[in-house]
């Protein structure tokens, strides 16, 4: 392994790295589905959670580069969901979006290895968030843990674009040689760090195979493994 004595800053992805985004998304959509069933059982019968996720992903792809605020993207997704089942209703879409966002932010659960690891690292390093998502640390028990937070929707640029890593360097007041990025996505985190010339750690909790051509400096299955080499 490369020597890492010069590392002063650690940037963390959020969704999928510090907490299970897919789990909290499905959990939140269950409340949406329940609310829709109470209001319009027939509409609910034409949907399920997987279909709502599929519609949301299509809408997000269609709006890429047009709308970057993810809460607004989610609202558009609920509008489109009701259109798909021939029940267009803007007020209902807004109501469903409010229910979703309430649980989306309030019910996040950290992975078990997060707090113990961050509590050790914060004593030696400047640590921060670099995320394409919209989950905020103060909403999930991580108040005052991070010295910087960089969210793509605030700057209009997403990982793997190296520009957002340049923003992190300015926020953290460090050089490329002084930072290492931790993330779960080969497509955004690892590719982005590689594009920016920054060292990276792939957190591969599910022990998936790397089917990309992205070089990985370090691979771990738990955040606690960071303490072994940092």
Three-class SS of residue 53? helix
164 and 192 Cβ atoms separated by less than 8 Å:
yes
> What tokens were used for 15?
């969704």
pLDDT along the chain (230 residues), means of 10: 82 94 91 95 94 94 84 94 95 96 86 96 97 85 91 93 98 97 97 97 95 94 93
The label of the residue with tokens 């279909």 reads 51
Using only the alpha carbons of the chain, give its radius of gyration. 19
Predicted local confidence at residue 1, as pLDDT: 45
Q: Which residues of 28-67 are buried (b: 16+ CB within 10 A; e: fewer)?
A: bbebbbebbeeebeebbeebeeeebeebbeebeeeeeeeb
73 and 50 Cβ atoms separated by less than 8 Å:
no
Predicted local confidence at residue 176, as pLDDT: 97
Which CATH number is 21-106 given? 1.20.120
SS (H, E, C) 110-145: ECCCHHHHHHHHCCCCEEEEEECCCCCHHHCCCCCC
**CATH number 3.90.1150.10 given to 9-19+110-229:** no
122 and 157 Cβ atoms separated by less than 8 Å:
no
What ranges do the domains of the chain cover?
Answer: 9-19+110-229, 21-106
Q: Cis before residue 133, ω within 30 degrees of 0?
A: no
């Amino acid at each position: 392994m490369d020597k890492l004595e010069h590392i002063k800053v650690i940037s963390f992805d959020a969704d999928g790295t510090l907490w299970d985004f897919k789990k909290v998304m499905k959990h939140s959509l269950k409340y949406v589905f329940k609310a829709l069933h109470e209001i319009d059982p027939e509409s609910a019968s034409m949907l399920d959670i997987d279909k709502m996720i599929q519609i949301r992903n299509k809408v997000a792809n269609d709006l890429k580069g047009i709308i970057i605020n993810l809460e607004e993207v989610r609202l558009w997704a609920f509008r489109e969901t009701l259109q798909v089942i021939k029940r267009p209703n803007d007020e209902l879409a807004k109501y469903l979006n409010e229910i979703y966002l309430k649980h989306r932010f309030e019910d996040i659960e950290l992975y078990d290895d997060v707090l113990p690891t961050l509590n050790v690292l914060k004593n030696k390093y400047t640590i921060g968030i670099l995320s394409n998502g919209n989950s905020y640390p103060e909403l999930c028990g991580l108040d005052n843990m991070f010295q910087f937070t960089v969210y793509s929707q605030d700057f209009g640029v997403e990982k793997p674009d190296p520009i957002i890593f340049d923003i992190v360097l300015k926020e953290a007041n460090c050089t490329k040689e002084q930072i290492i990025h931790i993330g779960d996505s080969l497509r955004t985190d690892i590719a982005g760090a590689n594009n920016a010339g920054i060292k990276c750690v792939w957190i591969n909790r599910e022990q998936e195979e790397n089917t990309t051509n992205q070089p990985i400096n370090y691979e771990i299955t738990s955040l606690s493994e960071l303490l072994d080499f940092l």
